[in-house]
Structure 1
Amino acid sequence: MTDEQILDRVASTLGDAGATWSLGGAAAAAGLHSATLIKRFGSRHALLVALSRRWVDGIPTAPTTVDGHRELLAWIDSLSTHGSTQVQLLARLDMVVEDLRDPELRDLLHKGWQRHLRYLSALVDRAQRAGQISSAAPSPLVAQLLLDSAHGSLLRAAVAPDPTEADPAHAVHNLLETLR
């Protein structure tokens, strides 16, 4: 099994995590032995760094289709927390807080968010040129508003009695609709 396959398995289990995860818990959920993760990555921290680098590398650097608006809508749909419990949402927030506390993980989070902003800005540019978004706001500002709305609504979803009422996909879609 390659490191990439191991990271795929571990990453897929993180979405279902109901609490802050341990190396042993991540290994078990991925159907692996803790020793496998230690042998391949060295430590829990190194595994988190590998997962973060993988996340950053997976963010597109430019639009992948000719229809920027449709691609933007697909990005928005990917934000949905539909089916997630409050416990799962809080676990996701715990992971972000852990990233913020660690200088190396914080740097990777910053790089990922900057890459998202460039990607979203390019999508907005493309949609504006096609007349699908009529906002006169510069695309970097629109991208920032979309990303900040996604992050803020994730916080709201984590505290809402019914997380679906504050689904980030709905919030960001509503913002995008106001810009049409």
Structure 2
Amino acid sequence: MARPRTSTDDEILERIATALQVSSNGWTLAGAAAAAGLHPATLIKRFGSREGVLLALSRRWVESVPTGPAGPDPHAELLAWAASLSVRDVSSAAVLARLDMLAEDLRSGELRELLHLGWQRQLDHLTVLIEAAIDRGDLRVSTAPRLVARSLMDTAAGALLRAAVAPDPADADPCSAVHDLLESLT
């Protein structure tokens, strides 16, 4: 007789995603299972394989990317997005673990496609926020909003790489880099 499920797939994925945010180690099935409070075999049974867990995490992330402003202040939402990028309270090892996870996504065709889709959705979302912030007068730019959105994303990615090699990741914090760019546009 099978044991009853005590957690939904989404609850399991939430626990794993939360643990990955602060992990100083590369992604492992054992680590994901420990974060979820489950045995690795249970994760395989639920998601089919190690890559199945990664695909489920990636799909969940893609679906979580907003499609439009959540409230009346798009500039505040842009600043909140910048704050979400921070590595101020993250160790150098945790920054490297994030880059390891990115490399794993890039090695898998399906994961790479999901990453592309997620980044495109993020680009679309940032473009909408920038357009709304310009309309409200919060940003004063003559550059196309899509180009500004790409510049914000590229700044974040470049700062993450710099944080990975900095003795103190906070010295190259992506949040600060994106915030500085946004401030230069106000």
After TM superposition, the score normalised by the length of structure 1 is 0.98
| Corresponding residue of 2:146 | 140
| Corresponding residue of 1:97 | 103
What does 1:1-180 align with in structure 2 at a 5 Å threshold?
1-180=7-186
Deviation of 1:29 after TM superposition, in Å, equals 2.8
How many Å separate the matches in 2 of 1:70 and 1:21?
33
Contact (CA 8 Å) 2:13, 2:36: kept in 1 or not?
no
* 1:6 aligned counterpart, secondary structure: helix
Deviation of 1:30 after TM superposition, in Å, equals 2.5
How many Å separate the matches in 2 of 1:38 and 1:68?
41
Q: Which of structure 1's runs of 4+ aligned residues deviate more than 2 A?
A: none
Deviation of 1:17 after TM superposition, in Å, equals 1.6
Segments of structure 1 that go 5 or more residues without pairing to the other structure are none
How many Å separate the matches in 2 of 1:139 and 1:75?
16
How many Å separate the matches in 1 of 2:100 and 2:169?
17
How many Å separate the matches in 2 of 1:83 and 1:65?
28
How many Å separate the matches in 1 of 2:22 and 2:137?
39
Q: Which amino acid aligns with 2:25?
A: A
* 1:82 aligned counterpart, secondary structure: coil
How many Å separate the matches in 1 of 2:150 and 2:157?
11
Q: Which amino acid aligns with 1:172?
A: V
Give the number of aligned pairs: 180
Deviation of 1:13 after TM superposition, in Å, equals 1.1
- Per-residue CA deviations over 1:84-138 (Å, capped at 9, x if unaligned) read 0110000000100110111100000000000000000000000001111001111
